[in-house]
Structure 1
């Protein structure tokens, strides 16, 4: 089988082709519809058959490419941790976009029989609206930061106006998402069940629903791994009390969506046994927050799978 590895960034995509006979080729395209068409033409010019395309599940940048190209080719979306581990096993120390695209292609060629083909979204308009809402929120936060730093009166008033406009659009987008989900019987009950989880509101429930419905997860740990919810502790000498930090791997949107609910869950002691055990072990606050994010993700998986609302006695140990 011929395989193509894509290393995807915000604006560009590095492309490495490994043919059945082992020969390689490389190109670079834009991360947009025009770039995808250029890639399709490039592949056709190689006169090859049975071609699969692979990419990492990083952020939201890969999603449009996966959706677009899946109409023509078999697509594999791979957990970035798998590629990282593969790079270590190959003693690969070259860190460029071109080299990464080749690693993705090599991994696919070796493990294609174990990979699950990407399934196009059944609700593309809904998911585009969810993405839009998150982008609006990010723009609002950026504008608030600029307002905080601004001294000039005109600049401040401009940022204030932008923030007000974004707030209006955020409200409109959130209402539209809520309405779109409730109009679909297959999603409505799942959506409402997810909101019974402590600290999970409508916006987070919509994002959880999107990924739980749109991806094939057979186990809770697969969903947790997809989100990249593995804590990372920095240690130096005998000190183990340094601040923890989130893994940079996993789906950024999903990870970001679980962060604020985890903070709320920590504040209200939604899962006292977990929190008390970690605090007794002198774990840094960020490690506890990540553990709560992981717990919320696991509970969301079980609730979606069982189609039942949150039950305190059942899900405290999830």
Structure 2
């Protein structure tokens, strides 16, 4: 007979604290601490592969990747949760915060909400693209900081220092462009038609491809409505009684970087892309706010691109459960 386990994992750089709960409420929890190492985690959890086990943990930069990779190799179900979503639950349980209490809270969260948790998957290519995008975004912030710093030093800096700052800014920009080209080659390895999509649609660029296409590719199982909500573009209703009725706004639960790129794409597409220009102008002519019309264009772009990433028979085998231990 299969044993049932609900496991919470508190991940840190050096170690992972696990809390094991069963379906029986009066059974004491079991706590285990393991080094954050893929092979060690695989060796420990290998005896559990025949049991009904589900593990929940929070995204922690990239420290959760060894755990994610190990569980994927063992085909153990797990869910990588957003800390913003679980923090309120954990704070409600206790005022104390430690690795042990967090692991217990996540195990309890897993046991209570297991039916509502969607199993996560690990994919090396997706995480690699994500890492490149994070680095590119970091360099963009550095460029802005250098630009602002140069302005603040104009009254005191000499020619030599100004040239050094200027040279550094150019070098950062060149490095950013180089990273984009490398990341785009990686993207083309699993989305071969990404270059064609960009060429055939005015307003679409490499930034949109790098940020949005990996999400479209690895989330093909989601419907259009689910994916738009996943990106944080679905309306958030705020009402209370008969007196509080705020205007609907997008929920902003997804990646702000993707929404930023989508907004800029919508801004250009609403002027130069016939597919979306008419929709924008129609909404504005009906009295819609220009920002509201742009959000509608953002959603239209997502729906259009979603149609180019259909769910096929090989999706589960080739993409969703593709794992890589590297």
Structure 1 and Structure 2 fold alike (TM over 0.5)? yes
CA drift at 1:240: 7.2
2:202–2:272 CA contact under 8 A, matched in 1: no
How does the TM-score come out when normalised to structure 2? Answer: 0.64
Separation (CA, whole Å) in 1 of partners of 2:199 and 2:96: 42
Aligned in 2, Cα 1:4/1:157: closer, same or farther, shift over 3 Å? farther
Determine the structure 2 residue equivalent to 1:160. 166
Alpha-carbon deviation of 1:145?
3.8
Residue 80 (structure 2) pairs with residue 77 (structure 1): yes
Unaligned runs of 5+ in 2: 313-326
Q: Does 1:265 align with 2:262?
A: no
Query: Which of these residues, 219, 241, 249, is aligned with residue 253 of structure 2?
Result: 249
2:227 pairs with one of 199, 223, 226: 223
Which secondary structure does the structure 1 equivalent of 2:56 belong to? strand
The answer for the alignment partner of 1:132 in structure 2 is: 135
- Tell me if 1:296 matches 2:301: yes
For 2:95 and 2:163, the matched residues in 1 are separated by 43
Partner residue in 2 for 1:275: 280
Partner residue in 1 for 2:112: 110
Deviation at 1:44, TM superposition (A): 5.8
2:181 is aligned, of 156, 175, 183, to 175
| Cα separation, partners in 2 of 1:206 and 1:26, compared to 1, 3 Å | same
How far did residue 225 of structure 1 move? Answer: 1.9
Distance 2:172 2:115 in 1: 46
Q: Distance in 1 between matches of 2:256 and 2:142?
A: 16
Query: Deviation at 1:52?
Result: 3.0
Q: What SS is found at the alignment partner of 1:207?
A: helix
Q: Distance in 2 between matches of 1:91 and 1:281?
A: 46
* Distance in 1 between residues matched to 2:238 and 2:282, nearest whole Å: 20
Query: Which of structures 1 and 2 has the bigger CA Rg?
Result: 2
Is the CA contact 2:235–2:251 (under 8 Å) kept in the aligned structure 1? yes
Aligned match for 2:123, one of 88, 100, 121: 121
Residue number in structure 1 paired with 2:36: 36
C-alpha distance in structure 2 between counterparts of 1:166 and 1:302, whole Å: 36
Q: Quick one: structure 1 residues 194 and 12, their matched pair in 2 at CA, closer, same or farther if it must change by over 3 Å?
A: farther
Question: Aligned in 2, Cα 1:63/1:295: closer, same or farther, shift over 3 Å?
Answer: farther
Once the two structures are superposed, residues 54-100 of structure 1 have per-residue CA deviations (whole angstroms, 9 ceiling, x without a partner) of 34679x6687466445346532135789769x96xx99699998798
Q: TM-score, normalised by structure 1?
A: 0.65
Check 1:259–1:139 CA distance in 2 against 1; reply closer, same or farther (3 A cut).
farther
- Structure 1 unaligned runs (5+)? 308-318
The offset of 1:211, in angstroms, is: 1.6
Count residues with an aligned counterpart.
291
CA contact (8 A) 1:76 1:116 kept: yes
Per-residue CA deviations over 1:149-205 (Å, capped at 9, x if unaligned) read 4444267555433321111111211222333444x3x52124422553442112311
Q: Distance in 1 between matches of 2:199 and 2:102?
A: 39
Q: Which moved more, 1:247-256 or 1:278-287?
A: 278-287
Q: Match of 1:303, SS? A: coil
